[in-house]
């Protein structure tokens, strides 16, 4: 007889493990889509199979005598895999405090399970060796359901591990006429990381400004890291400043404090960069600052080039403040370009990375009516456009950093579903999104911005991935 307390502890372990997988592995770390996660995914798959076997034994079998060592062996295998997984996780990625706390709870609960099972297994061990099939009522069926889920998760882990082995970090070669000295803020972010590595691999000198020196260590050298602009001497030469740093607009709910951080982060850093420009004996030639297509607000079906007016909303005001701060560099004699960036597509971050887990699991769908326009750009095209703007002296002022062919949310949803080979039959009603996220939903998910790269095309920029299908294929290949 297995006591009720064992089933309670097993149930807690199932719930905690499910939370860990969904929240940390799928949503936060996005392990199935990381090129370096193959080993960790294989360990997770093996552990899920071990748990499935343990639950099935507890549900339907009484292993007596030496046969009880079967369960002992399964428990030992699970512990060994978990210990190895802890070391692999710590060496391959930075775990958030919530994941470490949840791992601690899982370890404590598993210890409680072992303590409860010891007297049961001890009783089985002293019986005559045999294997008896039993039915433990509802617990047999619940444990079997958990085992089926664990086997499905293990299958996904092993499939994702094989896929991760096929992912390749393709180098991006930039066609530039001369070697320049660049200062990049936000270089450890999704776009800045790719820009920095492309510049250094193409022979440019790059200085990275970051508060998190440890994160900068993940970038491919050579480059220089500074944590404070005071580390840059007045006699140093900088040709191009690229200001990408800022609070992510989609990084969390728009609380009052987050609104302040979003509105102030880019202008405050811009003012510090202006102070640096004032200190330098030789002024940089170009300043490229990040803004967003949110500058235009919700404009429905209207086609938006750089001459279009914006509509008042929070994203417009925050982008306007960032652009105005960047334009102050023009008074110092710099040529200023402000990039109104659309949704940046890439497997490693941005909007696409957040959508991969639900779409890959078959829970993808349109937002609201799906008729709102989405202006987007493939990440490598954005990096190339930044370099193009730095080199082309006739480009100044606002520049729409978007692909030539915007799509509606419905078209984007269907294109991503086709690329992943999954259905996308869900639809999240507008009122649900607004009730849950308020203005964030209205301005980021439901607002329509049909922006086009009029000035980029006018100045000879050639998009390598102008259409959504090709861009998604490239990002997920």
What is the predicted pLDDT for the residue at 217?
Answer: 67
Q: How far apart are CA 287 and CA 389, in angstroms?
A: 10
**Beta-sheet strands, E only, within 310-425:** 335-341, 343-345, 365-367, 373-374, 376-378, 397-401, 407-408
380 pLDDT above the threshold of 90: yes
Residue where a domain stops, chosen among 135, 165, 195: 165
Q: Are residues 231 and 270 in the same domain?
A: yes
The residues, ordered by sequence, that sit 6+ positions from 368 with a Cβ below 8 Å of its Cβ are: 409, 427, 428, 429, 430, 433, 445, 446
**Distance from the Cα of residue 243 to its chain's centroid:** 21
Please indicate, yes or no, if residue 172 is contained in any of the structural domains.
Answer: no
Report the DSSP pairing between strands 181-185 and 240-243.
parallel
Q: How sure is the predictor about 412, in pLDDT bands with cuts at 50, 70 and 90?
A: very high
pLDDT of residue 289: 96
Q: Does 341 map to a domain?
A: yes
Domain that holds residue 319: 181-476
On the question of pLDDT at 218 being above 70, the answer is no
Residues 366 and 430: their CA atoms lie apart, in Å, by 10
Same domain for 186 and 153?
no
Tens of pLDDT, residues 322-364: 999 999 999 999 999 999 999 999 888 888 888 888 898 889 9
Judge if 128 and 242 occupy the same domain.
no
Domain final position from 102, 133, 165 = 165
440-457 residues labelled b (16+ CB within 10 A) or e (exposed): bbbbbbbbbbbbbbbbbe
Listed range (3-12, 203-212, 217-226, 419-428) with the worst mean pLDDT: 217-226
pLDDT of 88 strictly over 70: yes
- Is 170 part of a structural domain of the chain? no
Q: Let me know: does 204 contact 176? Beta carbons within 8 Å.
A: yes
What mean pLDDT do residues 391-398 have? 94
Per the prediction, the chain carries an average pLDDT of: 92
Say yes or no to pLDDT of 264 above 90.
Answer: yes
pLDDT given for residue 168 in this prediction:
66
Domain boundary among 133, 165, 197: 165
Residues 138 and 53 in one domain: yes
| Domains in the chain, number | 2
pLDDT band for 442, please (50, 70, 90 cuts).
very high
Neighbours of 458 (CB within 10 A): 12
pLDDT score at 471: 94
278 shares a domain with 227? yes
Average pLDDT of span 251-276: 92
* Residue 174 resides in a domain: no
Q: What is the CATH number of the domain that holds 356?
A: 3.40.50.720
Q: What is the DSSP letter of 313?
A: S
Residue 388 to residue 463: CA distance in whole angstroms: 11
Please state, in angstroms and rounded to a whole number, the distance separating the CA atoms of residues 73 and 57. 12
Note the pLDDT of residue 475.
Answer: 86
- pLDDT tens by residue, 29-79: 888 888 888 999 999 999 999 999 999 999 999 999 999 999 999 999 999
Q: Percentage of the chain with pLDDT > 90?
A: 78
User: Do 191 and 95 fall into the same domain?
Assistant: no
Q: What is the mean pLDDT of residues 374-389?
A: 96
Q: Is 421 left (phi over 0), alpha (psi -120 to 50) or beta?
A: left
**Residue 153 and residue 218 in one domain:** no
Residue 172's pLDDT is 84
- Residue 305 sits in the same domain as residue 193: yes
Structure pTM?
0.86
Q: How confident is the model at residue 28 (pLDDT cuts 50, 70, 90)?
A: confident
Confirm whether 345 is domain-assigned: yes
Question: pLDDT per residue over 61-70, tens digit each?
Answer: 999 999 999 9
The crossing angle, in degrees rounded to 10, of helices 190-201 and 379-391 is 60
User: Do both 331 and 430 map to the same domain?
Assistant: yes
Given a cut of 80, whether residue 214 has pLDDT beyond it is no
**Mean local confidence (pLDDT), 400-426:** 95
Query: What are the strands, taking DSSP E only, across 199-316?
Result: 205-209, 224-226, 240-243, 286-292, 303-304
Question: Rounded distance, CA 292 to CA 220, Å?
Answer: 27
Structure tokens at 44: 């997770």
Residue 173: inside a domain? no
% of the chain residues with pLDDT over 70: 98
Is residue 171 in some structural domain?
A: no
- Are residue 441 and residue 383 in the same domain, yes or no? yes
Question: Distance of CA 121 to CAs 1, 2, 79, 114, Å?
Answer: 11, 10, 17, 10
């Amino acid at each position: 007889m297995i006591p009720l307390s064992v089933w309670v502890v097993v149930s807690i372990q199932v719930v905690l493990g499910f939370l860990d997988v969904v929240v940390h592995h799928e949503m936060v770390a996005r392990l199935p889509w990381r090129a370096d996660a193959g080993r960790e995914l294989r360990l997770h798959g093996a552990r899920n199979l071990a748990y499935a076997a343990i639950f099935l034994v507890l549900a339907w079998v009484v292993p007596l005598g030496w046969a009880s060592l079967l369960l002992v062996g399964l428990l030992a295998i699970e512990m060994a895999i978990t210990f190895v997984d802890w070391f692999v996780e710590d060496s391959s990625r930075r775990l958030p405090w919530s994941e470490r706390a949840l791992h601690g709870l899982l370890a404590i609960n598993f210890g409680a399970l072992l303590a409860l099972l010891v007297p049961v297994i001890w009783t089985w061990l002293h019986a005559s060796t045999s294997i008896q099939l039993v039915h433990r009522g509802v617990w047999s069926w619940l444990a079997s359901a958990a085992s089926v889920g664990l086997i499905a998760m293990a299958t996904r882990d092993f499939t994702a591990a094989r896929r991760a082995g096929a992912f390749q970090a393709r180098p991006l070669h930039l066609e530039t006429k001369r070697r320049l000295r660049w200062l990049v803020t936000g270089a450890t972010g999704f776009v800045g990381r790719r820009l920095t590595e492309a510049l250094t691999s193409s022979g440019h000198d790059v200085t990275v400004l970051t508060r998190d020196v440890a994160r900068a260590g993940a970038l491919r050298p050579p480059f220089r890291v500074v944590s404070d602009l005071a580390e840059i001497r007045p006699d140093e030469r900088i040709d191009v400043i690229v200001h990408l740093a800022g609070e992510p607009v989609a990084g969390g709910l728009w609380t009052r404090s987050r609104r302040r951080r979003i509105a102030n982060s880019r202008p405050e850093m811009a003012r510090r960069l202006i102070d640096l420009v004032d200190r330098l004996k030789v002024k940089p030639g170009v300043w490229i600052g990040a803004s967003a297509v949110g500058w235009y607000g919700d404009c429905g079906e209207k086609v938006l080039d750089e001459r279009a007016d914006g509509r008042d909303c929070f994203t417009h005001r925050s982008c306007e403040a960032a652009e105005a701060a960047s334009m102050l560099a023009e008074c110092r004699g710099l040529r200023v370009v402000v990039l109104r960036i659309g949704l940046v597509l890439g497997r490693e971050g941005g909007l696409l990375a957040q959508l991969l887990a639900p779409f890959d699991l078959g829970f993808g769908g349109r937002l609201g009516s799906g008729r709102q326009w989405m202006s987007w750009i493939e990440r490598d095209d954005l990096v190339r456009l930044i370099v193009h703007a730095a080199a082309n002296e006739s480009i100044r002022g606002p520049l729409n950093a978007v692909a030539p062919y915007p799509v509606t949310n419905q078209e984007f949803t269907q294109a991503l579903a086709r690329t992943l080979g999954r259905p996308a039959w869900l639809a999240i009603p507008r009122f649900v999104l607004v009730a849950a996220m308020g203005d964030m939903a209205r301005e980021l998910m439901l607002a329509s911005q049909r922006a086009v790269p009029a000035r980029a095309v006018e100045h000879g920029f050639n998009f390598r991935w102008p259409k959504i299908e090709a861009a998604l294929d490239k990002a997920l290949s």
